[in-house]
Amino acid sequence: MRYNGNWDRGPRGPRYGRHHSPLGGGLLGLFGLLIGLRVILSLIGVAGVVIGAVFAGVGAAFRGVFAAVRSVFAGLFGGSMTAGGVAIGIAIGLVVYRMIRQKRENEEARARADETAEAPETPQESEYVEPTSSRNYYA
């Protein structure tokens, strides 16, 4: 008779015969999961606090800069002058945009004209064009 040192395993492998599964591994895994979950959540909380502090600092800096810019412009211009300046700025922007767009359209038209000038002539419908060989496996 063969010596079976692994008494909990049958002659055909661990799924046959007595299969012994201790409970300690499951409890240890559950305990590790609970501790690991708390560690992960605390790390996420610390990261959230750090990220929040960074955004709060950046927001405070921008708030100070915007307040300074607003006070400078409020002292320079009155209400009606500011509205007139915005309108003039929009008008200048539209004129510059139109000039850039017109220049781009002229360049594209010039490129298209060059392409059509360099394109070879296509045969007319009345001309006979010799077909290329189209032999296939069955011909």
Percent of the chain residues past pLDDT 90, beyond the cut: 19
Please report whether residue 53 resides in a domain.
yes
More confident residue, 23 or 20: 23
60 belongs to a structural domain = yes
Domain shared by 40 and 54, yes or no? yes
- Examine the domain organization and report whether 62 and 83 are in the same domain: no
Do residues 71 and 92 share a domain? Answer: no
Asked if 8 and 18 count as a contact pair (C-beta separation under 8 A), the reply is: yes
Tokens of 128: 């006979």
Distances (CA, A) of 108 to 43, 71, 95, 113, 114: 57, 46, 20, 9, 10
The pLDDT score that the predictor gives to residue 26 is 75
Task: Round to whole Å and give the CA distance between 38 and 32.
Answer: 10
pLDDT of residue 82: 67
Backbone Cα Rg of the chain: 41
Please give the residue that has the higher pLDDT: either 122 or 92.
92
Q: Between these two residues, 100 and 29, which has the higher pLDDT value?
A: 100
Contact of 17 with 10, CB cutoff 8 Å: yes
Q: Which pLDDT does position 66 carry in this prediction?
A: 85
Question: In sequence order, what E strands does the chain have?
Answer: none
As a whole number, mean pLDDT of residues 32-51 equals 88
Phi, psi of 89 (to 5 degrees): -60, -40
Is pLDDT of 24 > 70? no
Question: Range of 34's domain?
Answer: 30-76
Asked, for residue 54, whether it belongs to a domain, the answer is yes
Tally of structural domains, the chain: 2
Give me the pLDDT at residue 113, please. Answer: 85
Encode pLDDT of 48-90 as tens digits. 999 999 999 998 988 888 888 887 777 666 666 667 777 888 8
Reply yes or no on whether the pLDDT at 13 is more than 60: no
Q: Are 51 and 57 in contact (CB under 8 A)?
A: no
| Banded pLDDT at 120 (limits 50, 70, 90) | low
Angle at 11 between CA 6 and CA 15, to 5 degrees: 85
CA distances from 16 to 1, 4, 12, 13 (A): 19, 14, 6, 6
Q: What is the average per-residue pLDDT within 108-134? A: 72
The rounded Cα 4 to chain-centroid distance in angstroms is: 60
Would 105 be classed as within a structural domain?
Answer: yes
